[in-house]
Structure formats: structure tokens, C-alpha cells
Structure 1
Amino acid sequence: MAAMFTVLVSSSIVVNALPTIVPDLHGSQTAYTWMVTASLLANAISTPIWGKLSDLFNKKVLVQAAIVVFIVGTIAGAVAPSAATMIAARAVQGIAAGGVLALLQSILGVMVPVRERGRYAGYTGAVLALATSVGPLTGGVIVDSPLGWRWTFWLCLPIAIAALVMLQLTMHIAPSSRRGKVDWAGITLLASGVSILLIWVSFVGRPGAFGWLSAPSVAMVAVAVLLLVALVVVERRTASAILPIGLIRRRTVALSLIASLPVGFGLFGATTLFSEYLQIGRGDGATAAGLALLPFILGTLAGSLVSGRLITAYGRWRPYLIGGAASLTAGFAGMSVTGGATAFWQFAAATTLAGIGVGMQQQNLVLAVQNSVDVADVGVASGTVAFIRALGGAILLAVFGSVLASKSSAAITDALRSAHQSVSGSLELDHLGVLPHTAQAIVRTAYADSFGLPFVVAACVAAVGLLAAIAIKHSELRGSSHIPTSRSTPVSTVDGAEI
């Protein structure tokens, strides 16, 4: 949890500082999106790899290695001279975050019986809420202080070192007795296919990029699909598959993965759009934006702690998945009607609902999956859920960023034309501060009004997640970490449904 706090607080600090970092490094709207997307992409790709490695090697050494990687990425971000370097540094931090988050679930899966895991899900949710609440406020204060945004990175180094020392002194876990080969073919196909797909959704339809039906677009999609199809073929024949097709085919696992997609956006991507809306659209300072994110963060904390405690007390987890998915859908729907003139209480109400939805689902979906697999597969199963969640966050953020860029570009042009204002050349984030006051107000309002459309799409995706949560069947939480493996055991007792 100390390691988890380190990577999450760093991410939340930096996200709130990005509206200041990007103009200072002369970055564009695309660079803004990629400073978040690169981290999520690296997180998504590395998560199942870390999860699989945790089933084969020493979990303690792996989580310590992830923290060391995080320290390297943090130093690179602190000294970054350009937007491209910052994007690379964020990718390294994403690799580390994928390791820490996946290994946390794997370690808990081995150390804690499933029946007690709801309580620990509440603890990890509380750490997440604490990190995401302290982060934006701390980042805002640092950005608005004489220290400058680079200290949003330097501040995280002593925390990471403290977590590394704490793990060395206090964590005692037996090395895995399971051995096997690392699925390098699967890793290569997974990384290549997902990367190409994410690059495509990040740039398609953007002003100055390629169109939806253009030759580059068709080529990228075709290559990505071929690589992912090859991944499925390879994984079906590999004993130590990085993505276990057999596990994914189980009803509870498959539906949990679908439900994890909107949760991933709520967990990793929503705060990015919230910060953009507050700082660029409404003109709030970094500290004020950090304070404005508190309703979302407190909602996440409440949803996680309350649901975790109740699941441990009564053993019923399915109602909280359904309630969380409904709350997340309602929150995104509420955000779809926000604009430049939206009252703060409306924004706070919508983000609170979204936060409650994220809190009630983020750990409990992992709990549902862990309850349906044997302890030997807990690491790879947990890594798969974390992978889909991070991938969903990365892809949805890239899609919504593309929709926002296209929508805001047209809206700003129309608003300036209607007000008989003109701006020469392309309008990037680092140009906003030099505009005349009247034009700046017009641009901000048009930008804020453009946020409705991405959240309409987000609400639709969350509604699909709600349907998946409803379709999950309840099964009793096990009192131990193992599933009986006797051939006489009916399949329904393993997963609560057919496999």
C-alpha cells in the first residue's frame, strides 16, 4: 500500500499540473493527451506482464524493482527539457505503476483469504482516495508557488525511497514455487498491437492528422487487428500465456473485464478531463482545481470503504458492483450537460456520483475475479483485470481527447467568428495566455462547452458496463485462497456459472 500510494500520488500531482507543464514545454493539445496516454498505455501493456511474472518469481523483488523503475521515470520527468522527453518519462512511470498495482493485487491474493479480501479492498481504496486527494491539492500548491512544476516530480522521490525501505524491512512472503517460461511472443504481440491501436485512436479525426477512412487509418487498424488476432492464436497454444484465454472465457471473468473498461476511465482518465475543464475551460488556478476535485475523490473513498466493509460483513458483493456501475453511469451523464456556465454544485454532484461508482467497483471487480480462480492463477488473473482497466482508461481517454480536440476546435472557431475576433495560425495551449482578454474569455467558454460530447460517449460506455455487472452471477466468497481441484467438483461451484 505504501508503494501504491507512491505511484498514485505522483500521477495525481502531475495530472493537475499538466495545464501548466504543457505550455511551459511548448506542447500541443496532442502532447497534453499523450502525457497522460503514454503513462496509461505503458501501464496497460506492462500490467499483465508483471502479473504473470508474479506467478513465476519472487513478488517482493518484483515490486521493489517496480519502485526503482518509478524513481528513474520520476527523475527523467523532473529534468525534462521538452514535451517529447516528458512523454517518455511518463511512459516509464506508467510501467512502474502497472507493476505496483498488479503486484499489490497478486500479493493480497496470496496472503489474504477471499472472504476477508473485501476489507482489504476497502483499505486499498482508502489509500487510492488519499493519494488522489492529496495529489491534486499538493500539485496545485506547488505549481502556484515559487517552486514551479518540476517539484511535482522531485517531491515524490523521498516517498518512493521510503516505500522501498519499508517493503525491505516489513514484507515477508515466500517465493513462488511455480516455474515456467516467460511468454515473450505474447508480450511482443500484445505491446505492438495495443500500441498501434492506441496511436490510431489518439490521432484519427484530429485537425491536421489523418481522417477516419484515410489510407494511414485503414493501414494502422488492419495491422493492429492482425497482431491482436495473432496474439489470441499464440496464447491459445502457450502454456504460460501472458493473457490466459481459458480464464477470460469464464463468465464472471469476461463480464468483469467488460465492466472494468469504464472504471478504468473513471480511475485513470476522468480526473485529466476534469482538470482540463476546470483550468482551461473555466480558468481556475491549479490549487482551486485541486480543491474542486475533492467531491470526486471523497466519493471514491466513501464507495470503496463502505462497500468493502459491507462485503466483508455480509459476503454479498454483486449489489455493490451493480450500484457502482449505475452511479458511474449517472455521474458521466451529469457531466455531459456541463459547460462554461455550469454551476459548481452541478459539477460537484456529477463528479461525486462518478467517484462513488469508481470506488464501489475498482477493487470489487478484482475480488469477483479472484474468487473464481485458483490461487496459482491469482497473479495473472488480477493482472488481466488491471490490464483491461488500464487499457480501457487509455483508449477511452485517447478517444475522448480526440473528440474534445475536434469539437473544441470547431466551437472556438465559430465562437471567435461570431464575436468578430480572429487568431492567426493554429491555437495551441501555450498560446492561450497571450490572447486579448475578450478573445481569451470566448475561447475558454467555447472550450468548456465542448466537454459535453465526450461525457455523452462515456455515459454510453458506462451503461454497457452496467449491463455487464447486472449479468454477473453471485457466488459465495471462499474462506481460503484455494479452489477445490477435484474432478468431481461441479463447474458451477468454481465460477457460479458455466465456463
Structure 2
Amino acid sequence: MTQRQVLESLSGLLLGMFVSILAGTVVATSLPLIISELEGDQSAYTWVVTSTLLATTVSTPLWGKFADLFNRKLLIQLSLGLFVVGSAAAGFSQDTNTLILFRVFQGIGGGGLAALSQIIMADIISPRDRGKYAGLFGGVMAVGTVGGPLLGGLVTDAFGWRWNFFIALPIAIIAIILLQSTLHLPKQPKRKVHIDYLGAILIAAGVSLLLIWVSLAGSQYEWVSTQSFVMVGGSILLLAAAIFVEIKSPEPIIPLGMFKNRTFTLAVIASIAVGVSMFGTSVFLAQYMQLARGASPTESGLLTIPMMAGLLISSTVFGGMISRRGKWKAIMVTGALLTVIGSVLLGTLQYDTAFVLVGIYMAVLGAGLGMLMQNLVLVVQNSIEVKNLGVATSAVTFFRSLGGTIGVSVLGSILGTVVAQSIKENIAALEPADQALAGKYLGSGTIPQISQLPDVLKTVVESAYGSGVGFVFLCAVPLTLVTLVAVIFIPNAQLGTLNAVQLKKQPKTGAMAVVNRARERDDANDTLIDVSTASVALPAVGLAHPTGSIPAVSTTQTADTTDTSNSSEAGTLRR
């Protein structure tokens, strides 16, 4: 592919990533109106959101595995097609049941777009050059995550809620056309493919049951209840059975051997905590702006721009810096540290905190996430075997979504408990007449509309949500510390200079096999040796010469940098 074709293909991938993120966030501000017009109840309200998150999370590792087995260009076009059909059908829904069904199709397509766009980027761009483009992906995720609710509010006010589903259709169609005309990937070699259907079913069932539990616990039933024990126990049994099946399968959906790679394992741990911060800020900051500061949905979206700006600027600037210098460790550690600091600062929020300070706190957290999110995918892609590129990339995305969904549900339950207790205590301190007024407006237990409350109750509710959201961010601080520790211990491997397609063409014998095996054992020792001077013991086999002849190679010789630099990607060999 030419440089122009690479950039055009990336445009298609970025558009695909954007619409997949937008699917889950654009309806956030218009959901009360949607459920009201379709005559749905609170359960339908929950499931319109949960169904998409569930489908996206569960399908992500499956798309990643298919990417290692089948034509990736065909797969991403299929995921875009599913997304287009699901979005169009959702926009024409006449009741909540059909809306939930078509949101599932949206989620399945979105899961493919989230995983495959990053996998294909690894096919056409080397790890060394991938940093600046990964920054663009991080920026797109920021715009989709934080800007989605703002866009949804504007579209709903101007055209009606159905256009929340239609607005992404032209973007997805443009992405399909761009990828069809500019993306050129070599065909997968023909071989007998074994699809682990049983493992896929067990993983999907186990994760689905877990996500359904965290989505409904605290609202439909108590966290500690018979339903909770049954669902958690069932999820554990299903996932344990999935692990057993994956160990035995010749083509597992998630190869458990990847967890022997220290970079992969630590990146997965860090991604879980990053998911909580990324999803949590979009949910809880919106509640803070609307319920603690009295902002409208559109104003709420505008007030979270510092968060989006911090994430977009940092991911773009530092992504480019990684590509220029080839150094990533200091940037990621700094990003993890900023995430901790940003969470602590947001933990100080009150209903009367100055907006300037709130903006600074959001920008700090956004900058930290921008330096982390896509670079976690980058270091995994740089360290994993090329045959597992798809499943490794999708696994990081999967655990980030899983952590975010579970974390937001648990923290949301904490917020509900804290807010209810605070409101109860504040009402007890009011005059008897005001207490009666509180019973009228707040007695139902539903989330109130601040603009419709008397002034005395506005202060009560705003104070409760202001301090409650702050407490939730403090609860997330231990998770950000886990991210910091995990990033610190990720091996500081150099970024390679070959893309995945080029790596697949490299022979796996002789010196290259030695270098590749050493590269894959980055968890054993991080010390680097320059292969241009190091003496390496090689097996007595021939090395493919550029001219096509096979020169003789002695049992022990100095590794030639011309042959080994490509296979190790970084021109180095770990002891």
C-alpha cells in the first residue's frame, strides 16, 4: 500500500471507530424522551443501554479471534454493515422491545469496529510509526465518548430523537467505501480452521451473566441477595468451564498462553482500571453537571469539553512524540500518574466548586487517559506473536470495556446510596414545612429535575450529588493506583519498525527464530543487547540470502544485523 492509501484507509478506520463509540453515547441525553415516547418502563430504560454494552463487550474477543483466522477487510466491512442495519432499524423502532433488539445488532457491529480497526492498523503501520496514529484513535475515542451526549442533545432538540440513530449512517457508509477502495491486505493462507464454538458460547454466557448482574443489582434487587448469589455463581461456573475448554482447544478464542507474556498481562490489568476512568467520567460528570450544577443536557456536554480537550491533545501530541523518538515508557508512566492525580482532584468536588477548577481537574484526568489508552494497545501489539495479534488486541479492548461496565455499575450503586443518605440527613435539618415539601417532590425516590424543585430543595439535592460524585471519584483512586503500578512494571521494549504484514513474511528459522523467540520472552529479562555486536549461538541451518542463494552458516557466529533487524523489529536481542 502507498502512503496515500494507508492514510485513506486510516480515515475509514477512524470513521468506523467513531461511529462505534457514538452508538453507545449519543442516546445518553435523549434516553428519557425515547423511553417516554415508546411507553417503556425503568427496566426498558436500563436495557436500552445495557444491551449495547453487553453485545459490544461480549463480541469483541470473538471478532479478534476471527481476525486471526479470516479476511480482515471482509470482517470490518461486515461489522460496518451490521452497524448500519442495526442503527437504521433502531431509528424506526415503534416499541422498546424492538429498540433493544436492534441495539444488540448495533453493539455487535460496534464490537467488531472497535477491535478490527486497531488490528488492521497494526497490519499496515509499524509499531514505531503507530504512536502518532494511535493518538488519533485516542482522540476519536475521546470525541465519541465525551462529545456523544452533547451531539445527542443537540440532534434531539433540532430534529427529534430518531436522528440519534440515523446520524451515524452516512459516516459508516463513507467508511465502507473508503476501506473497499483503499485497503489492500494479503489473503490469509489457506489452512484448516477450527472455530471454538463451545468456548465462544461459554465465554459469552459467563460474561453476559456477570454484566447483567452488575447492571441490575442495586436497582432490581439487592447486591447481597439470592438473585445475586445465583447469577455470580452461575457466571463463575460458566467462565471456569470456558477456561477448561480454552486450554484443550487447538484454536482457543482467547489463548491463555498469552498471559505468560508479562507485557500482555500487565496491559490487561491496566486496561481494566482505565476503562473505569474512561466510562465513569462520561457518566458521573454528566450527572454532576446536571444534578449538582443545574445544567441542561446540552450545557452539560459543553462543560465537559476540558476533559475531551485534555484527552484529544495529549493522545495526539504524545502519540506523535512516541513515533519520533521511539520512547514510550516515560510517557505512559506520566499518564498513569496524571490519572491518579486527576481522580484525586475530582474527588474533592462539591456542588459549589469553581468551574475553573472543575475544568482543570477534568483536563488533568483527560490528559492522563490520553497518554495511556491507545498506547496500552500499542505495547501489546509490539510484544505479542504476530499470529495472536487479533486476539491480543481485542483482549485489551475487551477487558477495558468489561472493567468500565462493571466499574460504572458498582460506582453508580455507591453514588445512589451516598446521595440517598445525604438527602435524608439534609432534609432532617429543614423546617417541618420544608420537610413536607421534600416528601412531595422527593418521596418517589426517582432522580428529580433540578429546574422544577423549590429553591430550598435545590440546595439539598445539588449538595448531595456534588459531594456524592466527588466520593465516587475517590473510590476510583485505588484502581488508578493499580494502573500506575502495572504500567511501571511493563517491560521497556523498543518499538519495532515492521508492520504485521511484513512480519508474517519473515522466515522463522535460523537467526531470525532465535531473535523472535528472545523478543517474545520480554518478561524474562529486560536487558537489551545490540545484535550488531553480540555473539549469538545459532543452529547449523541455512539463512535465506537476499539473492536467493543459501550460504553456509557455522554453528556459532555473529548475528548479521541485515538479517536480524527486521525480525526483531527493533534491531536488538534480549538476553
Q: Same fold (TM over 0.5)?
A: yes
Match of 2:410 among 394, 399, 402: 399
Q: Is the 8 A contact 1:200 1:217 kept in 2?
A: yes
Does the C-alpha gap of structure 1 residues 92 and 368 become closer, same or farther in structure 2, counting only changes over 3 Å?
same
Q: Does 1:157 align with 2:175?
A: no
Percent identity over the alignment? Answer: 37
Pairwise CA distance, 1:469: 0.5
Give the Å deviation of 1:302: 1.5
Question: Which of 294, 299, 311 pairs up with 2:322?
Answer: 311
Could you report, residue by residue, the CA deviation over 1:344-367 in whole angstroms, capped at 9, with x for unpaired residues? 122212211121122111111111
Contact 2:261–2:522, Cα closer than 8 Å, also in 1: no
Q: Gaps spanning 5+ residues in structure 1: where?
A: none
Distance of aligned partners of 1:141 and 1:2 in 2 relative to their CA distance in 1, 3 Å threshold: same
**What CA deviation, in whole Å up to 9, does each residue of 1:115-146 have, x standing for no partner?**
2211221232233344446534422322333x
Query: Is residue 2:27 matched to residue 1:14?
Result: yes
Counterpart of 2:266 in structure 1: which amino acid? L
2:481 matched to 1:463? yes
Q: For residues 99 and 207 of structure 1, do their structure 2 counterparts lie closer, same or farther at Cα, with a shift above 3 Å needed? A: closer
- 1:166 counterpart (172, 178, 194): 178
| 1:290 counterpart letter in structure 2 | G
Q: Are residues 34 and 334 of structure 1, via their aligned partners in 2, closer, same or farther at CA, if it must alter by over 3 Å?
A: farther
Tell me the alpha carbon deviations over residues 360-408 of structure 1, each in whole angstroms, 9 at most, x when there is no partner: 1111111111111222221111011111111111111111122222222
Q: What residue in structure 1 maps to residue 337 of structure 2?
A: 326
Counterpart of 1:61 in structure 2 is 74
Q: Deviation at 1:10?
A: 3.9
Which residue does 2:439 correspond to in 1?
A: 422
Shift of 1:235: 0.9
Bigger Cα Rg: 2
- Which stretch shows the higher mean deviation, 94-103 or 110-119? 110-119
In the aligned structure 2, how far is the partner of 1:133 from the partner of 1:23?
24
1:135 aligns with: 148
What is the aligned partner in structure 2 of residue 478 from structure 1?
A: 496
- Distance in 1, matches of 2:109 and 2:76, equals 9
Q: What's the secondary structure of 2:27's corresponding residue?
A: helix
Using the TM superposition, give the Cα deviation of residue 337 of structure 1 relative to its aligned residue in structure 2, in angstroms: 1.8
> How far 1:221 sits from its partner (Å)?
1.6
Distance (whole Å) between structure 1 residues aligned to residue 190 and residue 289 of structure 2:
49
Q: Distance in 1 between matches of 2:284 and 2:29?
A: 10
| Contact 1:201/1:402 (<8 A) preserved | no
Alignment of 1:228-247 (within 5 A): 228-247=239-258
Residue number in structure 2 paired with 1:249: 260
Q: 1:78 to 1:342 in 2, by over 3 A?
A: farther
Which residue type is aligned with residue 374 of structure 1? E
Alignment partners' CA distance in 2, 1:31 and 1:446: 27
Q: Secondary structure at the match of 2:28?
A: helix
Matching residue of 1:493: 519
Counterpart of 1:176 in structure 2: which amino acid?
Answer: Q
Q: Secondary structure at the match of 1:241?
A: coil
Does the CA contact (< 8 Å) of 1:27 and 1:429 recur in 2? no
Identify the residue that residue 286 of structure 2 maps to in structure 1.
275
Query: Is the deviation greater in 472-481 or in 129-138?
Result: 129-138
Q: How does 1:363-374 map to 2 (within 5 A)?
A: 363-374=374-385
Q: Rate the CA distance shift 1:407–1:63 in 2: closer, same or farther, 3 A.
A: same
- 1:25-71 deviation per Cα after TM superposition (whole angstroms, max 9, x unaligned): 67777766654443222221111100111111111121111112212
CA distance in 1, matches of 2:413, 2:39: 19
Q: State TM-score, norm by structure 1.
A: 0.91
After superposition, residues 376-391 of structure 1 pair within 5 angstroms as 376-391=387-402
Asked if 1 retains the 8 angstrom alpha-carbon contact of 2:147 and 2:308, the reply is: no
8 Å contact 1:41–1:390 — kept in the other structure? no
Report the more deviating stretch, 45-54 or 352-361: 352-361
Q: Assess, with a 3 A threshold, how the Cα gap between structure 1 residues 187 and 316 changes in structure 2: closer, same or farther.
A: same
Q: CA deviation at 1:21?
A: 4.5
Amino acid corresponding to residue 494 of structure 2 in structure 1: E
Q: Classify the secondary structure of the residue corresponding to 2:411.
A: helix
CA, structure 1 residues 426+137, in 2 after alignment: closer, same or farther (shift >3 Å)? closer
How big is each residue's C-alpha offset from its partner over 1:293-335, in whole Å with a ceiling of 9 and x where there is no partner? 1111111111211221111111111112211111112112222
> Match of 1:384, as an amino acid?
A
Question: Secondary structure at 1:174's aligned position in 2?
Answer: coil
1:193 has 2:206 as partner: yes
Alignment check: 8 A CA contact 2:139 2:370 kept:
no
Call closer, same or farther: CA 1:415–1:485 in 2, change over 3 Å. Answer: farther
Aligned-residue offset at 1:177: 2.0
Task: Quickly say closer, same or farther: Cα 1:358–1:484, change in 2 above 3 A.
Answer: farther
In the alignment, is the contact (CA less than 8 A) between 1:74 and 1:157 conserved in 2? yes
Structure with the larger RCO, 1 or 2 (CA within 8 Å, 6+ apart): 1
- The aligned residue for residue 453 of structure 1 is 471
Q: CA separation in 1, counterparts of 2:127 and 2:524?
A: 21
Q: Deviation of residue 490 (structure 1)?
A: 7.6
Indicate conservation of the 8 Å contact 2:343/2:477, yes or no: yes
Mapped partners of 2:138, 2:155: distance in 1: 25
Check the 8 A contact 2:332/2:487 in 1, yes or no. Answer: yes
CA–CA separation in structure 2 for the residues paired with 1:289 and 1:347: 13
Q: Which runs of 5+ in 2 are unaligned?
A: 1-13, 526-575
CA–CA distance in structure 1, aligned partners of residues 352 and 120 of structure 2: 47
Match of 1:209 among 216, 221, 225: 221
- The 2-side partners of 1:3 and 1:208 are apart by 35
The alpha-carbon deviation at position 282 of structure 1 amounts to: 2.3
